[in-house]
Amino acid sequence: MYSSKRLPSHSHESTLFAHKLKMCSLLLSSLPSPPLVISPLESEIFTSLLLTSSTPSSIRIPTSLVISTLLSRNPNSEISLCLGSDTYSDVLSSKWKNTPYLSSHLKSIYVIPRDGEGTEYPGREDGLNPVILDVEGLEGVSSTRAREVVREVIRKGDGRYRELEGLVGEEVAEYVWEEGLFRD
């Protein structure tokens, strides 16, 4: 499992990777038998790209690079992606780099509908067809919403901390709050 490919300015990458890894670890530790392994792979890729880049803030890590790196290290692995429907829309509109590579190297792509959206999502001509996961309790969950809630708690101080717990779980909400994440 790895975190988002969207990166902020160069000065914060290693800190953000560490926070993302910690939040993923906290979330998975609450599951009875975590089916995933948390890996700092994206951070490792960023560090290696940093060595050859003259403009670190322009470094982007496409999902296809993460998958090819995973497969080179674990050639017998089967890899699936799980995305929110908004991110899957980006895949459909070819905003992702090397989408044909994903089609030929992914076992499955799972799509979780966002709040109020239907559950019909088209596949791609290249064979990348989604499996829709209509997961009860995840309808309004998104990282964007979690960041908005943190900012609302700070701005209004109106008890929305419980809403954050509902979105990301108690341990992750506590970590976000204690570390002062997403406040800007």
pLDDT tens digits, one per residue of 112-170: 887 666 666 776 666 677 888 877 766 677 777 888 888 888 777 666 678 888 888 88
* Separation CA 131–CA 49 (nearest Å): 33
Residue 61 banded pLDDT, cuts 50, 70, 90: confident
Q: What is the mean pLDDT of residues 33-38?
A: 66
157 Cβ neighbours under 8 A, 6+ residues apart: none
* Separation CA 67–CA 131 (nearest Å): 19
Q: Is 181 a residue whose pLDDT tops 80?
A: yes
Residue 73 banded pLDDT, cuts 50, 70, 90: very high
**The predicted structure's pLDDT at residue 158:** 62
* Separation CA 65–CA 72 (nearest Å): 10
Range among 3-7, 31-35, 86-90, 156-160 with highest mean pLDDT value: 86-90
* Distances in whole angstroms, Cα of residue 112 to Cα of each of 18, 64, 100, 155, 172: 26, 20, 21, 30, 21
**The predicted structure's pLDDT at residue 13:** 55
Give one DSSP letter per residue of 107-165, joined into a string.
EEEEEEPPTT--S-----TTS--EEE---TT-TT--HHHHHHHHHHHHHH-SSTHHHHH
pTM of the full structure: 0.71
